[in-house]
Amino acid sequence: METGGSLWLIFFLCLGLLQVRVKPDPDPLQDYCVADTTSPQGRDLFINGAPCINPAMATPSHFATSALAMRGNTANQVGSNVSLTTTRNLPGLNTQGLAMARVDFAARGIVPPHAHPRASEVTICIQGSILVGFINTTNHLFTQQLRAGDSFVFPKGLVHFLYNVDAMTPAVAVAGLNSQNPGAQLVSLATFATKPAIPDEVVERAFQITGQELARIRKNLGG
């Protein structure tokens, strides 16, 4: 009897684990999803992703895009441009858990330190020479200089950057991310350009800067 009871216990434990494996909660595709407890069901629809068309209506064009074919405009303060696939320019991307990006750099262009809260990223240098790096949770910096054909992985949620080290020649990279909506949070804007602003004394003490320095940084960043 004891052996039979143990077998049944193992069976139900395995069944419970199997149910967890085949019915996981989906990863969030947005920053938050606040429950609507007041609207009648069906009046409004907010879903974690995009609704699907009838599968019978799918065509090859839904799974192809030219969104990454054109060079992006790098005539901006940082000298870079990121073109990202979305469900608008690549409908077949929906629910596949991935996105692609093209990153164009002017000479000395940079993608400032930022993080993707919902995705890991692998970047491939296509043209030029790019310095990449990320910071782990112990504030250790990992850096690598990439040349055409080299790849680098940025772990999920960690702050990272990309920089074209060449003062004369543009650079190009492509990236793959394991979320169709990875999100991007620039460290500088998240600190100095929030609406409403983080209290001055908090930022001043955190960065050990004066009020005058804080005002100048916010002005430069549009905060």
**pLDDT per position as a tens digit, 25-35:** 667 777 767 66
Q: At which residue do the structure tokens 């596949």 appear? A: 96
Going by the DSSP 8-state scheme, the letter that residue 91 receives in this structure is G
Distance CA 31, CA 128 (A): 34
Q: Read off the DSSP letter of residue 87.
A: T
- The answer for residues whose C-beta is within 8 angstroms of residue 54's C-beta and 6 or more apart is none
The whole-number pLDDT of residue 75 equals 97
Q: In what order do the strands lie in the sheet with 185-186?
A: 141-147, 129-135, 160-164, 110-115, 185-186
Is it the case that residue 123 has pLDDT exceeding 60?
A: yes
For residue range 85-108, list pLDDT tens digits in order.
Answer: 999 999 999 888 899 999 999 999
CATH 2.60.120.10 fits 71-182, yes or no: yes
Q: Which runs of E-coded beta strand occur in 116-170? A: 121-127, 129-135, 141-147, 151-154, 160-164
* Residue 47: pLDDT over 80: no
**8 Å CB contact between 52 and 94:** yes
Bond from prior residue into 196 cis (ω within 30 degrees of 0): yes
With pLDDT > 70 as the criterion, what percentage of the chain qualifies? Answer: 82
For the chain, give the mean pLDDT. Answer: 88
Checking if the pLDDT of 114 tops 60, the result is yes
Whether 218 and 197 have beta carbons less than 8 Å apart is answered as: yes
What pLDDT, on a 0 to 100 scale, did the predictor assign at position 32?
A: 67
- Close Cβ partners of 111 (under 8 Å, ≥ 6 residues apart): 78, 80, 82, 103, 105, 161, 162, 163
- Comparing CA positions, the residue from 111, 120, 106, 134 lying closest to residue 188 is 111
Q: Tell the residue number behind the tokens 């870079």, with chain if given.
A: 80
8 CB contacts (<8 Å, ≥6 apart)? none
Break the chain into its structural domains and give their ranges.
Answer: 71-182, 193-223
- Residue 11: predicted pLDDT: 63
What is the reported pLDDT for 54? 87
Kindly report which listed range (41-45, 137-141, 182-186, 206-210) carries the lowest average pLDDT score: 41-45
How far apart are the C-alpha atoms of 123 and 132, rounded to whole Å? 9
Give the start-end residues of each E strand in the chain: 80-84, 99-105, 110-115, 121-127, 129-135, 141-147, 151-154, 160-164, 171-177, 185-186
